Each structure stands twice: as structure tokens, then as C-alpha cells.
Structure 1
């Protein structure tokens, strides 16, 4: 898989958190968080969204999965039903209010297999070697520091584990991520694309990644992917 990268980390990035300055900065705009719910749950179920995504990801009973940017819990509760009582779901978000509402929902629906974690904008804070699947649904475009975020996510996967991204094919400042840019950023952070499908039932596309190699790359050797005038990102070949 080829990619186009434009620049390495800039030690003069004084507006960034010190722990992120070893990583390249994202060469793209970032969408503002406007809602903790992508769309009404009834509309999403009518399209069969969660079932379609979980089927694509081959989520099965007994798995341990993470829902990053869980929001109001649309995927969280459906993942809990799919993995069953022998599985585990970790619902993560950076919005304290959303986590409070999700916690009340979990108690109300007695979802004993679900736990909640507050993440950071540049770190999902997932425990190492813990997850069969990590889901990032309609939220990747809101990550301002994709390289440190993905680098810190890398160790959380079990052997054979994968990361699932669902997003819209449009510029990041319009609440989507062009596929080529997504592929390039993930590859830069040490992942390999294993599946990509355009899916109207999820209002966008489905992409799946696995760790490449024995560990994530050294931050100082990573280079930022150039979004380009149309926000399309580096050139990426087929699977």
C-alpha cells in the first residue's frame, strides 16, 4: 500500500501538548463535536446499521470490544447483546456528560457486561492486549491528534484483533474522512488495511485495520499525511 506523506514532527509545535510533539501534527482541519449522537437510533436501526457493521466485523459471543466515542450508547448496547454475558464491552468517550447519561442507561438496562472509561482527545486510554475489536463510528474526523491517538491505541489489541472505522467520504471539516486520508494516517501509525467497503446502510464506508509488524513505529520517524486541496489524503492502492 503506497501513501504520500509530507512532513515529520516539528519540535517548534509549541501549541501542542508536550507529549505529542514527537509525533507529526495532522495536516487537515478537524470537525467540531456538535452532538454525542450521530442520528436517531430508530432511523439507524431501520437501516440495519449496527447489525451490518457487527456482521462485517464478525463480532461474536464472548469477544471483548471497545466502543470509542460511545456517546449515547447506540453501539454499546448492541455490542453488549452481540457478545453476550461471556463477552465484555468498554464504552469510551471524552464527554463527561455523555458518559453520565450512558452510565444511567447501562444501569437502567442492566448491562452487566459493559464498563465505562473516560478517554482523552489524544489517547483512548485502553488497557493493553485487551480487545478483539475496537470500534470508531462516525467520530474519527473529530480526532485532532490522529498520530499519537492511533499510536497509543495500537497496543490495546489482542493477537488477531482489529480496528473498525465507519465514516462518511467527505472532508474532515464536513464531518467525514476521505478514505485515502484515513488509510494513510492508519498506515503511518503502524496499521494495515484489511477491508474496505462503501455501505449506504451506514451512511458512509466501513474500513478495518490490523496492526502491522511487531510494534508501532517510532514517533520521530512518522510523517504527516498531506490532506491536499480537496482533503483526499495520500494515494493508497487497493487491497
Structure 2
């Protein structure tokens, strides 16, 4: 076979390949444009099934909110954010703890839950509470504004954790803390293994400060501080959940 003939056949093969590629349907990227610069979570995301984790009376009998606020060191005059506030179990108790000199920002992506919370805040005359809608990839918090940011039994429902947490980072005041309360089980079962939680927060610029397992809070308490810097979105290394059969619910692998 001559060289020209061989080149012709290669050219035809290349054109055919491009032709096939051109006929392939484009896969629609359903992620929000504001999230596409960040890695996608390599784990399932729990569906949002309710804005209420349990009855408030049951939670108060266990002393849940009091214990969490004590562990977090919430004091009068502090500014705190309640992300995933739902109908306000923590919001109203935080408002009482920080007092008239403090502020509570309640945030959620569920508009109906926020409307019910708004009615509750108005009824109880909680003048130190503000309500704001957020997004799956952005809590939309003002910068350098909070002594504590709470995410209670909701983090496993965040579909874009890296984008979300990256935008939480600048909202803390110097010395501020992020508090996560969740359950040690797989992320599609309305919980998250602690090792995976810690890995995801460390990936975007947080450091574990405290960790406690407490039956009163139906899970575990994890507290984080902000590192001095956060990585640019394209340099974030996503965490890999270990899914091998028989793996411990607290096993996770860092990105590679």
C-alpha cells in the first residue's frame, strides 16, 4: 500500500470519528452555573423529606438544643446563623440565648418553611431574628458577620457541598466557628460518616476543632474553625467515599 493511500484511509477514519462524535447528543449539565467551577460531591445526597427532624417536645426532653449551644459556647450578644432552619427549632432557642444584644439569621432553601418560620417569629416577637432564603450552592451569608454558624441535621442534604462550604468560609468573624450536628450513617440515609464530613470541610479551608458523640443530640457534634486561607475552586480536591462492601460507616478516602 502506498503512503498516499494510507494517509487517505487515516483521514477518512478521522472524519468518520468526528462525524460520529458530532451525532452524539450533548449531555445537559444540570448543575447551577455558580457551582460548576467546584468539584461534584462523590457521594449520594439525601433528599429533603421534611423541615422537621423530630418533634420539638422530644428534642427538648433530650436537652438537645441546650447541649449543642453549650458545646458551641453561645453567649448573649453573639451573632449566629442557623442554616437549614426549617420551622425554627434552633432559631427560637438561639434567639433566646443570644438575647436582645445578639442576632440570629435563619436561612433555608424551602420557601414554605421560611414562611411558617416568619409567622412564628412575628408571633413570638423575636426582634433579634432575620430570615433569608439561600441556595443549594450558596448560603448567601454576609461576610465576617457570625460568631457561630449552625448546620443541624441538614448537611447531608446539601447537593453542592464544596461550593456551599467555600461560600460559608468568609461569613465567619475572626475566631468564629462552624457547628455541624449529624448522624453517623451513609449519606443516602440522612446522615454522613464523620470522616467524610471532616474531609469535605478540610478540603475547602476549615479545620476540626472539637468532636463529640452525644445521645442527647441523636448523633455527633463537630466544630470547625476557618483556616487562614481557602483554596481556589479549581484546586479543591474532592473526597472519595469508601463504598467497598463491609466498609465502616466512618471510613472515607481523601481525594487523589
Q: Distance in 2 between matches of 1:66 and 1:233?
A: 28
- Secondary structure of 2:137's match? coil
1:181–1:233 contact (8 Å) kept in structure 2:
yes
Q: 1:175 corresponds to which residue? A: 190
2:144 pairs with one of 129, 134, 146: 129
Cα distance in 2, alignment partners of residues 115 and 31 from structure 1: 27
CA deviation string 1:18-62 (max 9, x = no partner): 222221110000000110010000000000000000000000000
What RMSD in Å do the two structures reach over aligned CA positions? 1.3
| 8 A contact 2:34–2:137 mirrored in 1 | no
Q: State how 1:26-37 maps to structure 2 within 5 Å.
A: 26-37=41-52
Higher percent of residues as helix: 2
Are 1:182 and 1:233, in contact at CA under 8 Å, matched by a contact in 2? Answer: no
Select the structure of larger CA radius of gyration. Answer: 2
Shifted more, 27-36 versus 223-232: the winner is 223-232
How far apart, CA to CA, are the structure 2 residues paired with 1:105 and 1:234?
43
Aligned residue in 1 for 2:112? 97
Which ranges of structure 1 fall in alignment gaps of 5 or more residues? 1-11
The ranges of structure 1 where at least 4 consecutive aligned residues each deviate by more than 3 angstroms after the TM superposition are none
1:7 corresponding residue in structure 2: none
Higher relative contact order (CA 8 A, sep 6+): 1
Structure 2 counterparts to residues 1-239 of structure 1, below 5 A: 14-213=29-228, 215-229=229-243, 230=247, 232-234=251-253
Partners of 1:51 and 1:75 lie apart in 2 by 10
Unaligned runs of 5+ in 2: 1-26
Counterpart CA distance in 2 for 1:110 and 1:14 is 44
Kept in 2, the 8 Å contact 1:13–1:21? The answer is no
SS of 1:223's equivalent in the other structure is coil
Question: What count of residue pairs does the alignment treat as equivalent?
Answer: 223
- Match of 1:192, SS? strand
TM-score, with structure 1 as normaliser: 0.91
Contact 2:162 2:200 in 1 (8 A): yes
